Amino acid sequence: MIDLRQLRDDPEAVRASQRARGEDEAAVDRVLAADVARRTAIAEFERLRAEQKSRGKAVAAAQGAEKQALLAAVKELSEQVKAAQAESDARGAEFDQELRRIPNVVLDGVPPGGEDDYVVVREVGQAPALPAGLDAWRDHLELGERLGAIDVERGTKVSGSRFYFLTGVGALLELALLNMAVARATAAGFTPMITPTLVKPEVMAGTGFLGAHAAEVYHLAEDDLYLTGTSEVALAGYHADEILDLSAGPKRYAGWSACYRREAGSYGKDTRGIIRVHQFHKVEMFSYCRAEDAAAEHERLLAFEEDMLAAVEVPYRVIDTAAGDLGSSAARKFDCEAWVPSQGRYRELTSTSNCTTFQARRLGIRERVPAADGSAPTSTRPVATLNGTLATTRWLVAVLENHQQADGSVRVPAALRPFLGLDVLTPPA
C-alpha cells in the first residue's frame, strides 16, 4: 500500500498520480476522511478505556453505597468501552479498505495516459530481411508445426483453447532459454529458486494481484489458494513479516516456475499460436533493496533483460509504460518488445517494474534503518521490491520467426547453442 505519511503530508502528489493513471482522484479524499474517522474513534476508545481503569481503582478504595454506585457506573462504562472498541475496529477496517484501493504513486517522469501512451526509450537492432525464396514470413506456429516443436491442436483437445504442447525441439528450446536465463542470473549474483505456484490469499493480495486484475487469476475455492501468474508473487511472499539485512546490498532472486493466467477479457486476441496462453514457464528476477537504491536497481534489471535479448539476437525496443497501463503495485515499468516479422510489429517479451515500498508495506517486509553515526539501528522501515522477466515461453515466438530460413529450418543463436546442443533446428524428414 502507499505511504500513509506521504498521503497526509502531500495529498496533491497522490491526486496527480491518480490523474496520470486515469483513476478516481476522489479516492484520496475518501482515504483522508476515513483516516480522520479512524483516529477519532481510536481516541474515544482510549479515553473511555483510561476512564474505566481510573474508576476501577476508585471502586477498590470505596465502601458501602459509594462502592455500589461506582460499580454500576463502571458496568455502564464497560459497555461504552466495548461499543467504542467495536466502532474503532470498524473505522479501522474501512480505512484499510479505502487505503488498499489506491494504487502505487507513479514516479516522476512516467508518461500519463493509457495503453497507447507509452514512450519509446530506444530501439536496438535491425529487423531481418525476408529470406530469399520466401514470399512472406512464416509465423511461429507454422514454423513450430513444421519443426515438430509446437502442437496447439492436441493442446486444445486435452485442455481447451490457449493451451499447447511443446514437443521435441520445442521443449528443448524452451528449456535452453530458461536454463540460459538461470545461468546468467546466477553468474550475476541472483539466487536461483524453484517457487510454489499456489499461494495463500494474503500473499496474492499483498503483491497487488487481487485488485483491478483479479479476474486474471485462477482461484481454487475449495482450498482457498491462488495459482500464480508469475513467480514474483511467491518471491515477494518469501520474506513476508521479516526484517532484512540489506547492509551488504540488495537481495536478488531468480525464480523459475510455471505460470497461469485466465486471460479474462482477451476473447479473440492472439488466438493463434502461443503468444497469449493460459499456462507457460518463466524465469523472473526479484530484488529487495533500500528505497533510495530502487531506481538504480530498476535500471540494473532492465540491463539484464536487454543483455538476454541481445544474446538471442532479436531486434527489440524499450518502452516506458504509461501510468494508466501500470499494475497497481508498479510505480514505473519498462517493457522490452521484440520484433515479430510475421506481424510486422513489436510485441512484449519482458517487463521490469519498480514497486517501491508498496508491496513491502502490505507484506510487512522491513529493514533496519542505518544510523547516520554508524551506531546500531534503532528503527525499521519498509524495503523496496522490484521484478523483471528474464525469459519466458513467449520468447520462442521471436526466436523462431527472426531466425527462420527459407527451407523451414531455424538458426539457433550462438549464445543459446551450448544450452541446446544444436546449431540449426530442422524439420523432421
Active site residue 242: no
Catalytic residue at 394?
yes
* CB-based contact 283:182 (threshold 8 Å): yes
Instruction: Name the more confident of 54 and 310.
Output: 310
- Segment 407-425 shows an average pLDDT of 97
Active site residue 222: no
Q: Which of 144-153, 211-220, 405-414 has the lowest mean pLDDT?
A: 211-220
Task: Please name every residue paired with 392 in a beta bridge, in sequence order, or none if there are none.
Answer: 282
- The continuous run of DSSP H or E covering 339 comes out as strand 332-340
Domains of the chain: 4-100 (1.10.287.40), 119-425 (3.30.930.10)
pLDDT over 90 at 375, yes or no: no
> pLDDT (tens digit, 9 = 90+) per residue, 317-357?
999 999 999 999 999 999 999 999 999 999 999 999 999 99
Count other Cβ atoms within 10 Å, centred on residue 59. 15
Q: How far apart are CA 216 and CA 260, in angstroms?
A: 9
Distance (Å, whole) CA 234 – CA 198: 8
| SS3 sequence of 403-428 | CECCCCCEECCHHHHHHHCCCEECCC
Residue 265 has pLDDT above 90, yes or no: no
Q: Of 88-92, 265-269, 291-295, give the lowest mean pLDDT range.
A: 265-269
pLDDT score recorded for residue 62: 67
DSSP conformation class of 324: G
Residue 189, helix vs strand vs coil: coil
For residue 319, report the phi and psi dihedrals to the nearest 5 degrees: -120, 145
Least confident of 61-75, 230-244, 296-310: 61-75
Position 56 scores a pLDDT of 73
Cell of 125: 537492432
Average of pLDDT values for 272-280?
96
> Residue length, the chain?
429
- Among candidate residues 45, 67, 65, the one with its CA nearest the CA of residue 56: 67
The pLDDT of residue 269 = 86
Single-letter amino acid, residue 391: A
Alpha carbons within 13 angstroms on the beta-carbon side of residue 64 total 1
Indicate the burial class of 277 (C-beta count within 10 angstroms; 0-12, 13-18, 19 or more): buried
Element (H, E) at 166: strand 165-166
pLDDT at 195 over 90: yes
Active-site hit among 184, 297, 394, 401: 394
pLDDT at 271 over 90: no
Query: Of the residues 15, 38, 146, 261, which is catalytic?
Result: 261
| pLDDT for 371 beyond 70 | yes
- Out of 39, 55, 276, 417, pick the active-site residue: 276
At residue 53, the pLDDT reads 81
The crossing angle, in degrees rounded to 10, of helices 395-402 and 140-147 is 80
When pLDDT is averaged across residues 243-254 and rounded to a whole number, the result is 96
Mean pLDDT in residue range 202-224: 91
Please report which confidence band the pLDDT of residue 114 belongs to, taking 50, 70 and 90 as the band edges.
Answer: very high
Whether the per-residue pLDDT at 59 is higher than 70: the answer is no
Mean pLDDT of the chain: 94
Radius of gyration of the chain (CA): 27
176 has a pLDDT exceeding 80: yes
Read off the pLDDT of residues 10-38 as tens digits, 9 standing for 90 and up: 999 999 999 999 999 999 999 999 999 99
Tell me: pLDDT of 67 over 90.
no
Residue 252 has pLDDT above 80, yes or no: yes
Instruction: Give the residue among 3, 29, 32, 33 at the shortest CA–CA distance from 103.
Output: 3
- Give the pLDDT mean for 358-379: 86
Asked about 184 being catalytic, the answer comes back as no
**Residue closest to 207 by CA, chosen among 238, 242, 252:** 238
170, containing H or E segment: helix 169-187
Predicted local confidence at residue 192, as pLDDT: 98
Percent of the chain at pLDDT exceeding 90: 84
Any idea which residue has 473505522 for its cell?
A: 91
Asked whether the predicted pLDDT for residue 360 surpasses 90, the reply is yes
Question: SS3 letters for 249-314?
Answer: CCEEEEEEEEEECCCCCCCCCCCCCCCCCCEEEEEEEEEEECHHHHHHHHHHHHHHHHHHHHHCCC
Asked if residues 308 and 106 have their Cβ atoms less than 8 Å apart, the reply is: no
Question: Which of the residues 257, 342, 351, 353 is marked catalytic?
Answer: 351
3-state secondary structure of 387: strand
Separation of alpha carbons 26 and 121, rounded Å: 33
Cα separation, 103 vs 327, in Å, equals: 8
Spatial distance between the Cα atoms of 140 and 425, rounded to a whole number of angstroms: 13
For range 199-222, the mean pLDDT: 91
Instruction: Say whether 287 is catalytic.
Output: no
Q: What 8-state DSSP symbol labels residue 136?
A: S
CA 39 to chain CA centroid, nearest Å: 32
Q: Does 251 have pLDDT greater than 80?
A: yes
**Catalytic site residue from 317, 347, 348, 368:** 348
